[in-house]
Each structure stands twice: as structure tokens, then as C-alpha cells.
């Protein structure tokens, strides 16, 4: 182990077909959950809020032409809502292709979002479906659905809006880095906000469960690494890599200071394409900015397996502050790191 060089860088065929395709008699299911605020909106309010086509369908109980609706072939994950008042009506998982020319769903969202009433228009008896919040006309309900519910909610696209499913917020991710002595790198990352755990170990080689002594021979192909578990909503991979490129020299091949061998090489082990892209992008930016006088030799490689080093190598700096190596090598590095990243420390 030896001191590391510190570097500071740093998204119907129109109406006749519509009614003919929907001419069956299911059992009405009536809901009484109505928001009177929306029910009391005036006709002038709706004419101002809705487009002419939406007003015709939602307020005048019209039907859009088949195979023309915006949501007919739509496949994104999310929630279909009332185009008039935003009431949540159908989940995307209930949508299916019925080949009738209008968006079809096999069930509504629970909670009385939709009300039904008998429709005697055009000399037929059908079940009309309406938004329970604003009373807007949506379409008709039939008992000819192909799924287990046996239902087909035949809905006009003009009656609907869509809210795309938000990507769940990721609260934990893992990054594995090699950059010389893992004692030094571990001590640095343990200080950062958003980092919940740092472990020292080995990656990138051919031997399973190697010992520290075996890795030190340079014959296993393994690298001394730290495995960092962090919360990306608090600290991003970009920030972790900024710290990484600050506390080791990425321009020396298979060496950090006096520590020589492939086990000390600079390497980012990525777990997915996003991590790969971030790492290669940052390295490219550092090269273009000529932050270092020599070319960066940091490798970006696919992560395979992490072998945790024995307990004597975990939290080494915290447990051995009186050790000469810690005082002479790690402590000065920590002091300089804390000055640069003082706003990111725990």
C-alpha cells in the first residue's frame, strides 16, 4: 500500500356501425359516487373547457368514428382518465384489442369511478357508461368480453386522457470500483451522504473466493475494489465518480504510487448500460478537458462477481487510525477529500 496522488477536477362506418357493434343487453351496474361540484358545472363551462369534438361526445352523447381514436392502439403503461374532469377510469392493464374500432377495457378502476344507466336510443337497449364525477358520456358496456371478467367497456378516445406511469423512484443502487488500495477508497466513500454501505473486496478475476494473499500475488486477475451501496435520490453515480477520480490517479496503468500490479488497476465495473454510459461519458469529458497531463487508463468493464474481503479489511481506516499507514497515507488523503467535498459529507 502506498500514498495515492490526489487530483482535483472538479427527460360504422360511422354511427350505424358504432351502434350495431354494441347492440347487446348486459346487466346494468349502477354507481352512485358522484362529485356534485363537477356535476353542477354549466354548459358554457364545458363548451369553453372542451374541444368541439370532445363536447359532442362527452356532453351530447355522441360517438367518434371507429378506428380513428387516439387511444385505440395505445400500449403505454399508465391510467386512462376522464378527458373532462381527470377522474381515473381504467388502468392500462385492463385494456385489450377487441377489433371493434374503439378502445376496450375489461374492468374499471375500483371505487365507483364509473356509473351506468340504460340507454334506449336508436331503438336498442344498451348500457351507457358515464364518468361518475362529471357525468360525461364515455361509451357503452357489454357482456361479450373475452377475458375472465366477461365485460367490454367500449369507450370513445375523445372521452379519455392518459397519464403515463411514472418510473418508480429508485432508492438503492450498487457501484463497484477499483482504484488502488481498497483501504483508502473505502474510507473516502463512507463519508458521503447517500452512501449506506461500503465493503472492501475483490472483483474481475478468475478465482472464486480468493484470499487477500492470493490477490496480492497478481495471479488471480482480481482487483482490490470497494462495493458501494447508495441512494441515487440523494447522491448520483456522477457524484460518486467525481469523488473516485479525485482520490486516485486514473493515468497510471496497474499502479497507484508504489503499489504495483494488476490488482491495483483503475477500473469501473458496470452492472447495466446506464452505468456504462455514465462512466464512459465522464472519462471522455475528463480527457477532453485535459484534466490530467497523461491519458486516462481507467477501464470500464462488465461486473461479474464481488468477493468480500475478510473482516480485518473492512472499515480498516476507522478501526486502525493509529496505524502508521493510516496516519501517513490515508489521513492526509481524507483531509484533502473533506475540503473538496465538504458539502457532500455526512
Residue 302 bridge partners (DSSP): 270
Q: Known catalytic residue: 326?
A: no
Q: 237 CB contacts (<8 Å, ≥6 apart)?
A: 173, 175, 275, 278, 279
CB burial string 160-180: b at 16+ within 10 A, e below = bbbeeeeeeeeeebebbbbbb
Strands 255-256 and 259-260: antiparallel
Q: Known catalytic residue: 184?
A: no
Distance, in Å, from the CA atom of 199 to the CA atom of 189, rounded to the nearest integer, reads 10
Q: Which of 181, 184, 216, 326 is catalytic?
A: 181
Cβ(143)–Cβ(150) below 8 Å = yes
**CA separation (Å) from 337 to 120, 188, 268, 298?**
77, 7, 20, 20
Q: Which of 154, 184, 216, 326 is catalytic?
A: 154
DSSP-derived 3-state class of residue 93: helix
Phi and psi torsions of 4, nearest 5°: -105, 145
Candidates 266, 299, 247; CA nearest to 179 is: 266
Candidates 117, 139, 136; CA nearest to 72 is: 139
Say how many C-beta atoms besides its own lie within 10 A of residue 136's C-beta.
Answer: 25
Residue 126 bridge partners (DSSP): 119
DSSP state of 192: B
- How is residue 267 written as a grid cell? 477500473
Residue position matching grid coordinates 472538479 = 10
- Residues labelled as active-site residues: 154, 181
Amino acid at each position: 500500500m502506498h500514498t495515492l496522488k490526489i487530483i482535483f477536477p472538479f427527460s360504422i362506418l360511422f354511427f350505424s356501425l358504432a351502434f350495431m357493434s354494441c347492440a347487446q343487453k348486459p346487466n346494468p351496474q349502477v354507481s352512485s359516487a358522484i362529485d356534485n361540484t363537477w356535476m353542477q358545472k354549466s354548459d358554457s363551462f364545458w363548451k369553453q373547457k372542451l374541444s368541439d369534438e370532445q363536447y359532442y361526445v362527452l356532453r351530447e352523447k355522441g360517438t367518434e368514428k371507429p378506428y380513428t381514436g387516439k387511444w385505440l392502439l395505445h400500449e403505454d403503461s399508465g391510467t386512462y382518465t376522464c378527458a373532462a374532469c381527470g377522474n381515473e377510469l381504467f388502468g392500462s392493464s385492463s385494456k385489450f384489442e377487441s377489433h371493434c374500432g374503439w378502445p376496450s377495457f375489461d374492468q374499471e378502476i375500483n371505487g365507483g369511478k364509473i356509473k351506468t344507466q340504460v340507454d334506449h336510443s336508436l331503438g336498442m337497449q344498451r348500457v351507457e357508461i358515464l364518468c361518475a364525477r362529471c357525468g360525461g358520456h364515455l361509451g357503452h358496456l357489454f357482456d361479450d368480453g373475452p377475458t375472465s371478467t366477461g365485460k367490454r367497456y367500449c369507450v370513445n378516445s375523445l372521452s379519455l386522457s392518459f397519464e403515463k406511469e411514472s418510473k418508480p423512484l429508485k432508492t438503492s443502487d450498487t457501484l463497484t470500483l477499483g482504484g488502488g488500495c481498497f483501504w483508502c477508497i473505502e474510507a473516502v466513500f463512507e463519508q458521503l451522504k447517500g452512501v449506506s454501505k461500503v465493503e472492501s473486496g475483490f472483483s474481475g478475476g478468475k478465482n472464486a473466493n480468493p484470499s487477500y494473499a492470493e490477490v496480492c500475488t497478481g495471479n488471480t486477475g482480481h482487483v482490490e475494489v470497494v462495493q458501494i451501496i447508495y441512494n441515487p435520490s440523494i447522491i448520483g453515480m456522477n457524484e460518486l465518480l467525481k469523488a473516485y477520480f479525485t482520490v486516485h490517479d486514473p493515468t497510471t496503468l496497474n499502479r497507484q504510487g508504489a503499489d504495483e500490479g494488476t490488482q491495483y488497476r483503475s477500473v469501473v465495473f458496470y452492472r447495466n448500460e446506464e452505468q456504462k454510459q455514465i462512466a464512459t461519458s465522464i472519462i471522455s469529458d475528463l480527457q477532453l478537458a485535459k484534466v490530467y497531463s497523461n491519458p486516462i487508463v481507467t477501464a470500464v468493464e462488465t461486473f461479474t462477481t464481488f468477493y468480500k474481503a475478510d473482516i480485518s479489511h473492512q472499515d480498516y481506516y476507522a478501526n486502525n487510525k493509529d496505524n502508521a499507514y493510516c496516519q501517513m497515507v490515508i489521513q492526509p488523503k481524507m483531509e484533502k477529500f473533506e475540503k473538496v467535498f465538504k458539502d457532500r459529507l455526512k
